[in-house]
Structure 1
Amino acid sequence: MTFVGILLLIIALCAIILGVLGWTRKLPGNSYIGIKVPEVRKSRQMWDAAHQTAGPLWVISGVAFSFAGLLCFVNNAWLWLLAAVLTFFGIVLVALGSSLGSRTVAVLADHDAKQEAAQSSCCSAGGQEEAPTAPEVDVEALRRAVKDH
């Protein structure tokens, strides 16, 4: 279990370093380390936003990996079970951080696309005006208002 403990401590150190660099927006853009979703790599702002979102979870996963690595040096089978649970928890946190980072970029890209479409819809129809759209109505808010009275 010594080898596993050392390996987990190395992984923990990498996760903490990458998490802190991502959290502080100092992780350099590269093709080897980081979230590998095409939207993340479109611009530096997207890269930073994704990794800033994922960074805290990666740091927590690094702490979980370090506890798991330290427990591997203890000669107790029950603590090795706890080390396995902590390792699984660390893996889940890395995946969750990456997923949240990707989701953040998708939301930002959608927001940017909507703003760009709103700004360019003025005169891009070739002189044809679009029909006005009906305002959106929050039906649930109307139902709550009716129930209150």
Structure 2
Amino acid sequence: MIEIVIASIFALIAAFFLTVGAMAWSGKLHGNSKVGLQVPEVRDSEEIWYKAHRVSGPWWVNAGLAFAFTAAFALKGFWVFTILGVVVAIGLVSVGSNLGARAANILESKEATKEAPAQVDLDAVRRAAGGQ
């Protein structure tokens, strides 16, 4: 009986990560405050949101597959493989989220340097040229 309950929980978690991961990977996960990367850089622009989630999406899909295998192992009572599957799935979610957040940080810094033109101190240029 406990195997069925645990397997059902892992199956629901697998369905969640497969759905969210597929939506993120395909660019259909719209910006929201509930699901997805929750770092400030991701929220800076819609373009950064989609690009960062395209990086995270494949990892989350693989985490969903790992949770699906974990559900199957739990159903059969293979507890060592169940625990190993949970560790692998959590690792995949972590790596995907980390890579997505790093991508957002890189894109945000590129966007910030692109938007802010260099400021020229005209007085310093005049003084260096010897004129007033």
TM norm structure 2: 0.87
Question: In structure 2, how many angstroms separate the alpha carbons of the residues matched to 1:60 and 1:98?
Answer: 13
Relative contact order (C-alpha < 8 Å, sep 6+): which is higher? 2
Which has more helix, going by share of residues? 2
Match of 2:24 among 19, 22, 25: 22
Between the two proteins, the alignment pairs up a number of residues equal to: 123
| Paired residue type of 1:92 | G
- Aligned residues: CA RMSD: 1.5
> Mind listing any 5+ residue stretches in structure 1 that lack a counterpart?
132-149
- Structure 2 portions without partners, runs of 5+: none
Q: Deviations over 1:91-143 (max 9, x none)?
A: 111111111000001111122223334xx22xx324244x9xxxxxxxxxxxx
Percent sequence identity is 33
Task: Give 1:14 shift.
Answer: 0.4
Query: Which residue is equivalent to 1:112?
Result: 111
**Where does residue 51 of structure 1 map in the other structure?**
53
Q: How does 1:53-132 map to 2 (within 5 A)?
A: 53-75=55-77, 79-117=78-116, 120-121=117-118, 124-127=119-122, 128-129=124-125
2:11 pairs with 1:12 = no
So what's the TM-score if we normalise by structure 1?
0.77
Following superposition, the deviation at residue 26 of structure 1 comes to 0.4
User: Is 2:44–2:108's contact at 8 Å kept on the other side of the alignment?
Assistant: no
